[in-house]
A and B are shown apart, each in its own frame.
Chain A
Amino acid sequence: MPTRMLGEPVKRREDPRLLTGHGRYVDDIDLPGMLHAAVLRSPYAHAQIERIDASTARALEGVVAVFTYDDLGPARQRMPLLIPNPALTHPYTRYALARDEVNHVGEGVALVVAESRYVAEDALEAIRVEYQELPPVVDIERAVEPGAWLVHEELGTNVAAHYVGVVGDPERAFAQAAHVFRERLVIERSAAMPIETRGIVAAWDPYREVLRVWDSTQGPIVIRNALAALFGLAPHQVEVIAPDVGGGFGCKIMFYPEEVLIPYAALVLGRPVKWTEDRIEHFIATNHERLQIHDAEIAVDAEGRILGVRDIFLHDAGAYTPYGIIVPQITACQLPGPYKVPNYHVEFRAVYSNTVPVSPYRGAGRPHACFVMERLIDRVADELGLDRAEVRRRNFVQPDEFPYDVGLVFQDGAPTRYDSGDYPAMLARVLEMVDYERFVREEQPRLRAEGRYVGIGLACYVEGTGIGPYEGAHVRIEPTGHVYVATGMPQQGQAHKTILAQVAAEELQVPIERIVVIEGDTAHFGFGSGTYASRSAVVAGSAVALAARRVREQALELAARELEVDPADLVVEDGRIFVRGAPERGLSYWEAAQLANPLRYAYGTEASELLSKPRPWNGPALPPGRQPALEATEYYSPPHATWASGALACILEVDPGTGMIRFHRLCVVHDCGRVINPMVVEGQIHGGIAQGIGGAFYERIVYDENGQPVNASFMDFLIPTAVEVPPIEIAHLETPSPLNPLGVKGVGEAGAIPVPALVASAIDDALRPLGVRVTRMPLGPSELLELIARSTE
């Protein structure tokens, strides 16, 4: 019987190391002679640098070097624009250290390298910088007004990008609609906040002439390529390794200034250099996300069917646009969600401000989109006196309508085209889980009679996952009894070592214990782009499947030759290839791997008698077209994104005296196509939901009018704890993707997307007797009481 590995809750192969304290995160790396770096950061949101005097700092005992912009040699150039876009007409990137102007609190001004981090921090205090303050731009609505102060004077505008997307004829749809409803909806600035901050260790190996960089990054290959180009090294002379990484959630897929500075310092000084971002730095030096202000309207017919949606929004880009306009573009494309929106006008301006730059954080523009669309749907239901589930049902893309084209170009440049799904079934399932009918008919009226404010919320979403360009995998069967699987995708907790092993084990039919997954090390695999956009399982998983299939074919061909049978007559079970119906006639993969390699040695317990058999001369040992290993490298490049989806329902209670909230139930039905490992998928959803709860109630990054961060610490930036996150109930729905060999879709960001919409829906319902409408997120108890007070005035 073939062993089924896909779909099994295989325990994680990563865990024993991590549980025993044997993980290796960047800050755990300790090299002989290593120096420690610290970055002097701008205390001003916007200022001209007049003068930097580092002489006192350089003279401090234990200080090895202080770098400013002028000391950066080949790195005295702007950081690259990583993702251009035709709508991004005014891109702007920074220097690795500010040249003459700083544009946000936290922008790097000087780099100190010293014998310890303690001394490096002493030295930061000894550097004198004279700044000429410039007017800060903080409020993005004011930033787009005529005559506004400018973040980048030379651009002549604060608008980095102006995008307009039109599907159908929105003008006509709105003109003919029975009803039009408008909302102004706001999602505040937030940030990913992995518990491990960023970190880099760089060392030049003079013996191998290799620059080795350990980096807490989601994309080591891209950084390898960039560093090689920047320092004039051959690609093989730069190795970037993402070791164990303590969470990323998007903020570690970037090319940050420190990723230039630390390798550069190591090259210049000839000693290893470590930089570990501290938490306070992380708040001002690692990218943020989320702030958007939407003016949205929906046109419906008398029965609540959507005729059109018009959404015009401002997106806060922060001070620079290194990652282009990915976030607002995703918002624009995904806003229609699982609903048919035949006429759609979406328009945004990405606006510079003197704040930390914005790039994707788990969800990447989707929580905003989902919030806007679901708020509009709830509004339609409320205004027309319809059930909220019914309005959703009436507007869903139907199961027989796939592939379904939204009509806009997605973040990967491909069409926004939903490949599969069953949205009505998804909603029906979650309504059943939460017992929607009973709650609405019996429970809620009873609770209301008791004076309690308990409401039910609904939210549905889609998520474009598994985008290109491509990922690859190398699979190699070793005579030692192992299968090596190498990919270019590092993990930050997503269990690649387990799920990719499951894929390889199933394709090859070997026990999973035999499989060794190597990831995140450019010396092992040098092509690919990284872990982001919920794409690992889809893109790398598919590449592993393709490569494993090829290796299996190689092994079968070899075995067929050896056993003198037709490959079609062979089967594989538990790592052994044998003739169908004659299990004694066969050989193991490991023997096959040895046979493939015509060497004179046969080591190891797996060596069999087959190998000691004298072989008559039969031409070259390695005939043309054959290779001495069972190995293959394959790439998978998706035609376009594959679309995961979900429906959520929650019941929550509002304490109208304090504005505090308590969840009674939180139910999720999720469709990520074929599930590789349900345990891992559920873990991803749990984590995403927790971040969504953060985004709904707790997490916001606040700047004052001078561009000073107000709550930049874990005391005041409120990550939910185990008390705030409720138990989460999950059911899976599987509509396999027709696009990839495994039928899988991504799940990484799923949970984070719908929660603000869900919570808003539930709060509205809980407070229906008071007439409250939620229009911004997050919503703390103070804001909630204010809403209640305003609606009851």
Chain B
Amino acid sequence: MKPPRFQYHVPESLDEALGLLAELGADAKPLAGGQSLVPLLNMRLARPGHLLDLNRVAELDYLTERDGGLALGAMTRQRAVERSALIRDRCPLLAQAIRYVGHLPIRTRGTIGGSVAHADPAAELPGVLAALDGRITLQSRSSTRVLDPADFFLGVLASAATPEELVTEIWLPAVPERTGQVWLEVARRHGDYALVGLGASVTLDGDGTISEARLALIGVGPVPVRARRAEERLRGEWPATSLFREAGRLVSAEIQPETDVHATSEYRRRVAAVLTERALAEATRQITRETVE
């Protein structure tokens, strides 16, 4: 398990990195935290001719408030997000989800941009982006694009990024007033990729009805899945256990999970419903401080 030969490049600025990408094209692979790419190199399942190490591109390491939300540079370490009081305060869903990303010594190296660019359908960060309608910024030497998660995540380990483009930033909206956010996930072991993960964000009106509900699931399809029908059903309703159960049933009906060595499709469907119900109850409780009957 030793990597094959490659040419190593270590740009020190974004311009330099984008220039190299434009020059080297599809034969170059950006190396961010390396927590997914290096295993693939060691197993010789990835064999890029050129490795573009982004770890010296300091300008991509930031975490800041912008445009009513949070902007995170692609090279921000997951561990920095986990430690951030700003994230805990402004984006509780990300704060909860980030603790499920691998293990502590993975998050110290793993980056926000790397995880998003890798586009693993069971990874947490893409799920958070999908749940909150975040944005992904892609840059090449000649262009900058800002994409919605639905346009960015195209399939298993497949994204809209062209070989010349880098994910340079993600943006997430700050949590609105009277909003509860909950990340729930079932994995075989602590730290494993999710069998099913669910990000829920619920906003209540002044009268206590649900004004907005967002539900995104991971591990149940080739990309993070928004449960639109369930969200629709919740909107304008009074929170209630029966309503949440119905939302769970809708979620389970609108996903098409696969069977793999760890869980069947049917299992993922059932658990998606259960997690939906639990997450909605918990999100509502966060706002009202009361348990929904």
Contact A721:B190 (CB < 8 A) given known A125-B44, A280-B1, A658-B271: yes
The 15 sampled A-B contact pairs (Cβ below 8 Å) are A117-B2, A118-B2, A118-B3, A657-B271, A658-B271, A716-B261, A716-B262, A718-B188, A718-B189, A782-B263, A782-B264, A785-B267, A785-B270, A786-B264, A789-B270
With A121-B2, A279-B1, A711-B261 already in contact, the answer to whether A721 and B43 are too (CB < 8 A) is no
Q: Using A657-B271, A716-B262, A721-B191 as known contacts, list a sample of 12 further A-B pairs with CB atoms less than 8 Å apart, ordered by residue number in A.
A: A118-B2, A121-B1, A125-B4, A125-B44, A657-B270, A658-B274, A710-B261, A715-B193, A781-B188, A781-B263, A781-B267, A782-B195
Q: Is the CB of B262 within 8 A of A723?
A: no
Q: Is B59 an interface residue (CB 8 A)?
A: no
Judge whether A280 and B43 touch: CB under 8 Å.
yes
A724 touches B189 (CB 8 A): yes
Q: Is A780 an interface residue (CB 8 A)?
A: yes
Tell me if B266 and A720 are in contact (CB < 8 A). Answer: no
Within 8 A of A (CB), among B247-275: 261-264, 266-267, 270-271, 274-275
- Cβ contact within 8 Å between A278 and B1: yes
B178 interface residue, CB < 8 Å from A?
A: no
Write the A414-438 contact mask toward B (1 if CB under 8 angstroms, else 0): 0000000000000000000000000
Mark each residue of chain A from 754 to 793: 1 if its CB lies under 8 Å from any CB of chain B, else 0. 0000000000000000000000000011100110010000
Q: In the complex, what distance in Å separates the CA atom of A117 from the CA atom of B1? A: 9
Asked if A718 contacts B43 (CB within 8 A), the reply is no
Per-residue CB contact flags for chain B residues 173-196 toward chain A (1 = under 8 Å, else 0) read 000000000000010111111010
Find the residue from A117, A658, A715 having the highest chain B CB count within 10 A. A658
The contact of A121 among B44, B188, B189, B271, by CB within 8 Å, is B44
CA–CA, A723 and B189, complex, Å? 8
CA distance A633 to B186 in the complex (A): 58
Q: Are A786 and B267 in contact (CB under 8 A)?
A: yes
Smallest Cβ-Cβ distance to A120: which chain B residue: B2
Chain A residues proximal to chain B, CB less than 8 Å: 117-118, 121-122, 125, 278-280, 657-660, 698, 702, 710-711, 715-716, 718, 720-721, 723-724, 780-782, 785-786, 789
**Complex formed: what's the CA distance from A715 to B278 in Å?**
28
Known: A657-B278, A785-B267. A702 touches B190 (CB 8 A): no
Using CB atoms, name the residue of chain A closest to B4.
A122
Q: Which residues of A contact B191 (CB under 8 A)?
A: 721, 723
B190 & A724 in contact (Cβ 8 Å cutoff)? yes
Knowing A118-B2, A658-B274, the reply to whether A780 touches B190 (Cβ < 8 A) is no
Name which residue of chain A comes closest to B278, CB basis.
A657
On chain A, the residues within 8 Å of B274 by CB distance are: 657-658
* Residue B5, interface by CB 8 Å: yes
Q: How far is the CA of A702 from the CA of B195 in the complex (A)?
A: 18
Taking CB atoms, residues of chain B closer than 8 Å to A710 are 261
Q: With the chains together, A658 CA to B197 CA distance in Å?
A: 12
Taking Cβ atoms with an 8 Å cutoff, the residues of B that contact A are 1-5, 43-44, 186, 188-193, 195, 261-264, 266-267, 270-271, 274-275, 278
Residue of B188, B189, B193, B266 near A786 (CB, 8 A) is B266
> Are B188 and A698 within 8 A (Cβ)?
yes
CB of A759, distance to nearest CB on chain B (Å): 16
B189 and A720 contacting across the interface, CB-CB below 8 Å: yes
Contacts A125-B44, A657-B274, A711-B261 given; indicate if A723 touches B186 (C-beta within 8 A).
no
Taking the closest CB of chain A, its distance from the CB of B218, in whole angstroms, is 15
Q: Tell me, rounded to whole Å, the shortest Cβ–Cβ distance linking B49 to chain A.
A: 15
Q: Which residues of A contact B264 (CB under 8 A)?
A: 782, 786
CA distance A698 to B1 in the complex (A): 25
Measured between alpha carbons, how far is A117 from B2 in the docked complex, in Å?
A: 8
Contact B262–A782 (Cβ < 8 Å): yes
Given the interface pairs A122-B4, A279-B1, A780-B262, the reply to whether A723 lies near B190 with Cβ below 8 Å is yes
Closest-by-CB residue of A relative to B264 is A782
Q: Which of A660, A715, A786 contacts B186 (CB 8 A)?
A: A660
User: Given A117-B2, A702-B261, are A659 and B267 also a contact pair (CB < 8 Å)?
Assistant: yes
Closest 4 CB pairs of A and B: A657-B274, A723-B190, A782-B263, A782-B267
Nearest to B190 among chain A residues (CB) is A723
CB contact under 8 A between A698 and B189, given known A279-B1, A659-B267, A782-B267? yes
Please name the residue on chain B nearest to A697 by beta carbon: B188
Contact in complex: B189, A781 (CB < 8 Å): no
Query: Inside 8 A of A718's CB, which chain B residues have their CB?
Result: 188-189, 192
CA distance A718 to B262 in the complex (A): 10
CB–CB B1/A721 < 8 A: no
Residues of B contacting A279 in the complex (Cβ-Cβ under 8 angstroms):
1
A789 to B270, CA, bound (A): 10
Q: Which residues of A contact B1 (CB under 8 A)?
A: 121, 278-280
A118 and B4 CA atoms in complex are apart in Å by 8
A598 to chain B, nearest CB (A): 59
User: Which chain A residue shows the least CB distance to B184?
Assistant: A658
Q: Which residues of A contact B195 (CB under 8 A)?
A: 781-782
Q: Which residue of A lies closest to B43 (CB)?
A: A280
* Residues from chain B with Cβ under 8 Å of A659 in the complex: 267, 271
Distance A715 CA – B103 CA, assembled complex (angstroms): 13
A657, A711, A716, A782 — which one has the most chain B CB atoms within 10 A of its CB?
A782
Q: How far is the CA of A721 from the CA of B104 in the complex (A)?
A: 13
A278 to B3, CA, bound (A): 13
Q: Flag if B2 contacts A781 (CB, 8 Å).
A: no
Which of A117, A121, A278, A657 has the most chain B CB within a 10 Å cutoff? A657
| Residues in B neighbouring A720, C-beta threshold 8 A | 189
Chain A residues with Cβ below 8 Å from B271 are 657-659, 781, 785
Q: How far is the CB of A63 from chain B (nearest CB, A)?
A: 14
Chain B contacts of A702 at CB under 8 A? 261
Shortest beta-carbon distance from A128 to chain B in Å:
17
Q: How far is the CB of A791 from chain B (nearest CB, A)?
A: 15
Do residues B189 and A122 form an inter-chain contact, with CB atoms below 8 A? Answer: no
Residues of B within 8 A of A711 (CB): 261
Per the bound structure, the CA–CA distance linking A682 and B90 in Å amounts to 47
Q: Which residue of A lies closest to B5 (CB)?
A: A122
CA distance A58 to B104 in the complex (A): 43
CA separation between A782 and B13, bound complex, in Å?
47
Q: What residue of chain B has the Cβ atom nearest to residue A656's Cβ?
A: B274
Question: Which residues on the B side are within 8 Å of A782 (C-beta)?
Answer: 195, 262-264, 267
B residues in contact with A721, CB < 8 Å: 189-191
CA distance in complex: A711, B267 (Å): 19
Chain B nearest CB: distance from A118 CB in Å? 4
A689 to chain B, nearest CB (A): 16
Q: How far is the CA of A782 from the CA of B261 in the complex (A)?
A: 10
Contact partner of A781 (CB less than 8 A), chosen from B5, B43, B186, B278, is: B186
Name the residue in B190, B195, B261, B266 with the highest tally of chain A Cβ atoms < 10 Å from its Cβ: B261
Chain B nearest CB, measured from A568 CB (Å): 63
* Alpha-carbon gap, A121 to B3, bound state (A): 9
Measured CA separation A789–B267 after assembly (Å): 10
Residues of chain B within 8 A of A786, CB atoms compared = 264, 266-267
Q: Once bound together, how far apart are the Cα atoms of A710 and B192, in whole Å?
A: 17
CB-defined contacts of B186 to chain A, threshold 8 Å: 658, 660, 781
* B residues near A658, Cβ cutoff 8 Å: 186, 271, 274-275
Which residues in B have their C-beta under 8 angstroms from that of A789?
266, 270
B263 engages A780 (CB within 8 Å): yes
Neighbouring B residues of A698 by C-beta, 8 Å: 188-189
- Complex CA gap A246/B257 in Å reads 40
Which of chain B's residues have a CB closer than 8 A to the CB of A723? 189-191
User: How far does the alpha carbon of A710 sit from the alpha carbon of B259 in the complex, in Å?
Assistant: 13
How far apart are B259's CB and chain A's nearest CB, in angstroms? 9
Interface centre among A122, A698, A723, A781 (most CB of B within 10 A): A781
Q: Give the CA-CA distance A279 to B39 in the complex, in Å.
A: 12
Nearest chain-A residue to B270 (Cβ)?
A785
A716 to chain B: closest residue by CB: B261
- Inside 8 A of B3's CB, which chain A residues have their CB? 118
Residues of B within 8 A of A125 (CB): 4, 44
* A720 CA / B44 CA spacing, docked (Å): 27
CB of B6 to closest CB in A, whole Å: 12
Cα A789 to Cα B193 with chains together (Å): 25
